[in-house]
Structure formats: C-alpha cells, structure tokens
C-alpha cells in the first residue's frame, strides 16, 4: 500500500502584471477533446544533491514563465455569445507538492497502471475551469516525479512542450533561447462567407459506431530500435516509388497492418486509421510559435485485405498521401467547416468502430529537453489506459535511441497483436 502525503497545495500566479483580457478560442481549440492532457516526467537524483528539485526554484521560475504564458494562469469560461473563452484573470496555476513512500525502482512506469498513475497528478475540483495543474512528488529514494495536467481546450502537445521547455530554461538560468509564444488566433479565423472545398469524415458523427458495451483494455509497451526503423524504411522505399518515408508513416503502417490482422477483420471491410497533423508550418503564413491547438484530425482508409496483404511501403504510402494533402486551402476549408457546424450546433466528435485505430504521437517533440538544472528526465510517460484501440508513439531518449509504441487494446486482441507484431518485425529483419 503506497501512501501519498500532500505537503503543499497553492496557486502560482505570474510574477509581473500581465494583460487582463478575454482570449476567444479558435475552431481548432473548440474541436479539441475536453480533457486534461497528463504527462509524467521522472527525474533521478543520482548524485544525491541536497537541493534537488528545490520547490523554491521551481515555483519562482514558474511565476516568471507565466508572465510569458499568462493565459495558463486564467480560467476557461463561456462568453455571452456562448463561445468558449479564456479569462486571463491571473488566478494562477495549481501547484502541489507531495511525498510518496516508495522508490522509483519499485514503480512500474511503463506501462503504468491507472491507480499508480493517478498518484502523480494534482486533483482538480469538480467542474474545474483550471487550465494547468502541476504536482511535484518526492520519492523515498530522492528521485522526483513531475506530473503535469494541461487543459486541451487551450493548447495541444507542441504548445505545452514550448511552455515546459521555457519553464525549465528559466529555472536553470538559461535565458538566451527563450522564444515568446503567440496567442493570436486571427490566422485561424473562419472566412466570410465560408468556403468548404473538402470532406471531413473524421468529424462526422455516426451513432452506429458507438459501442454499447466497450471492452476493458490493457496497455502494452513495444519498442522499436533505430536499426529496426531503418529496416522498415528500406522496405518502404524498396517496394514503392517513394524515396523517403517518415518514421511516423512507417511505424503507423506497421501498427495498422498488425491491428487488422490481430482483430481478424473481414477482408472485404474497410479500416480507418485516425491521427493528427500539425498545421503550424503548413498554413500560410506559418505560425511557428503559436500557443494553442494547431492540429487537425485526419484519417487514412483502405480495404482490410489490401492492408494485410500489401507491402509495408504501400500501407505507409496510404498514410503519407493523406499527410501530403494538408494544403493551406485544406486547413482553411476545415476551419470554415467547423464554423458552419458550430453555428448549426452539430456535434463533430465521432466515435470509432472496432475496425478503426487511433494513433497519438509526440514524435520529434523536445520532451527530453525539460531540464530544470538537475539533468534531463530519465523517463517520460503520457499514455492513459482509458480508451480502446489507441496507440501512442514517442521517442526514447538519446540520439541513437528508437521509439516507444504503447498500445491500448482489449486483452484478447492484445495477445494476438503482440504475436503478429513480432512476426512482422522478424520478416523485415530477415530480408
């Protein structure tokens, strides 16, 4: 039985005056999942430093960081026009300090059980409008777990990484590479009149896809080495006309193919792979330092028989062609589509069927750069065992490291998936 002791629970506010304003959220914000994104960072105190993860240092740096990222210290509210807004009222970020009577080595961080995972996150009040919650948990061995919860309605993973990177740099005194965020939603405003040139099946509600009795799911961790990824990419270029395929495309293709086989889907049916893509550098003009939701949900679809029998390069090509189609006009059509749906009060959050799979990725994000002055995190965990048919992709630390693939499936499908996954990898390694 692990005992968590709360030592401190306060609100940290910006250290200087910040703009008092209402930030009207964009259509990309409004379509984001209404949940807090939760991430765990494990920091090991290998040198037994006495001031390791000093609360004073961390809180002082947080207050300074909130001057730049002041909307995080505000609250989610509904405007008079019924539209979601952020009231930049400087009420602050919830900051909790806790102690857990166990060592880091006694905790299974990958994959982590839901009951253990919940120990490391600040508990939000009922119907909370908080945008950012943080918990620093000191372990018996001297190590520290930083649990972060940020409200998805304000910001996506890339924006959150920008905040944490800035906070850690200020904490360690590195003020040379601070990049201020932009909160300007103007580039993401709908056109008048709206012009919708594309279809968006990922946002079409289909009541028939809802599961009446969803199966409980389990998490499993699969690791792909840099060498294995290289082999996969070679196969992609060898059996297709593609000269380059990204790590995301090739790994997504592998996982999609394995899932279709493991689930035993009817060969004549279709399967859809859902994923998101960042639009910050695809919209014109680009918005590289934008702090908000800058992603669009996409999907690749194909007949199951084609997915399971095709070379990996063909499956990866199906994913790549969808990503290549994200043009400026596509993005603006999507924003217009969301505006029309919002005005009609039509729900655009769709459920997926058992033939479909979702990929969530933070590949390429600087998650291991979050160094507060005592070294980089030894481990980062962000998956959650609450949804079936979801796959999480993230880099492992180090230049020569591979990637982690965390899969959430029902237990019977998971057993078959594991078998198929390693069979597929062996095929590529043997060629």
Taking Cα atoms as reference points, which of 160, 167, 128 lies closest to residue 293? 160
d(CA 375, CA 362) in angstroms, rounded, equals: 21
How far from chain centre, in Å, is Cα 141? 29
Taking Cα atoms as reference points, which of 238, 164, 184 lies closest to residue 23? 184
Tell me the C-alpha to C-alpha distance, in Å, between residue 78 and each of 93, 178, 184, 267, 341: 19, 32, 19, 47, 18
Q: Tell me the HSE value of 377 on the side-chain side, using a 13 A CA sphere.
A: 22
Taking Cα atoms as reference points, which of 151, 185, 203 lies closest to residue 25? 185
Residues designated catalytic: 152, 371
Question: Rg of the chain's alpha carbons, rounded to an integer?
Answer: 22
Taking Cα atoms as reference points, which of 367, 372, 368 lies closest to residue 52? 372
d(CA 28, CA 23) in angstroms, rounded, equals: 14
d(CA 234, CA 256) in angstroms, rounded, equals: 18
> Hey, CA dihedral for 250, 113, 62, 20, is it positive or negative?
positive
Phi, psi of 316 (to 5 degrees): -60, -35
Q: Which residue bears the tokens 């043997």?
A: 430
Tell me the C-alpha to C-alpha distance, in Å, between residue 336 and each of 27, 78, 123, 154: 9, 21, 36, 20
Max intra-chain CA distance, the chain: 63
Tell me the C-alpha to C-alpha distance, in Å, between residue 95 and each of 11, 75, 131, 175, 308: 6, 15, 12, 23, 48
């Amino acid at each position: 039985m692990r005992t968590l002791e709360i030592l401190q629970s306060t609100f940290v506010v910006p250290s200087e005056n910040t703009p008092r304003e209402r930030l009207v959220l964009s259509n990309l914000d409004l379509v984001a999942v209404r949940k807090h994104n939760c991430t765990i960072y494990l920091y090991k105190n290998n040198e037994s430093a006495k001031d390791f993860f000093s609360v004073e240092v961390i809180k002082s740096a947080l207050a300074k960081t909130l001057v730049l990222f002041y909307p995080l210290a505000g609250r989610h509210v509904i405007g008079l026009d019924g539209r979601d807004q952020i009231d930049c009222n400087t009420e602050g970020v919830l900051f909790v300090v806790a102690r857990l009577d166990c060592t880091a080595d006694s905790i299974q961080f990958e994959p982590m059980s839901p009951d253990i995972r919940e120990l490391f996150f600040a508990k939000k009040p009922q119907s909370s409008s908080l945008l950012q919650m943080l918990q620093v948990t000191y372990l018996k061995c001297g190590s520290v777990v930083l649990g972060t919860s940020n409200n998805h309605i304000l910001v996506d993973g890339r924006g959150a990484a920008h905040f944490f990177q800035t906070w850690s740099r200020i904490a360690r005194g590195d003020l040379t590479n601070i990049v201020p965020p932009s909160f300007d939603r103007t580039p993401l405003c709908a056109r008048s009149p709206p012009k919708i040139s594309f279809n968006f099946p990922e946002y079409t509600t289909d009541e028939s896809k809802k599961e009446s009795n969803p199966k409980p799911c389990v998490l499993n961790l699969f690791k792909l080495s840099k060498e294995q990824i290289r082999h996969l990419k070679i196969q992609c270029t060898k059996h297709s006309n593609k000269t380059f395929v990204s790590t995301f495309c090739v790994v997504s293709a592998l996982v999609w193919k394995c899932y279709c086989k493991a689930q035993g889907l009817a060969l004549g049916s279709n399967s859809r792979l859902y994923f998101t893509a960042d639009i910050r550098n695809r919209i014109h003009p680009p918005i590289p330092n934008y702090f908000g939701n800058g992603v669009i949900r996409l999907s690749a679809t194909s007949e199951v028989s084609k997915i399971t029998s095709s070379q990996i390069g063909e499956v990866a090509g199906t994913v790549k062609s969808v990503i290549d189609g994200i043009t400026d006009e596509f993005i603006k059509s999507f924003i217009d589509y969301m505006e029309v749906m919002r005005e009609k009060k039509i729900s655009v959050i769709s459920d997926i069927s058992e033939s479909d799979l979702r990929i969530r990725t933070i590949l390429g994000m600087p998650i291991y750069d979050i160094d507060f002055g005592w070294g980089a995190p030894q481990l980062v965990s962000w998956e959650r065992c609450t949804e079936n048919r979801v796959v999480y992709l993230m880099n492992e630390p180090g230049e020569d490291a591979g990637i982690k693939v965390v899969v959430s499936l029902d237990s019977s499908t998971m057993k078959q998936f594991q078998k198929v996954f390693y069979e597929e990898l062996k095929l590529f390694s043997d060629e």
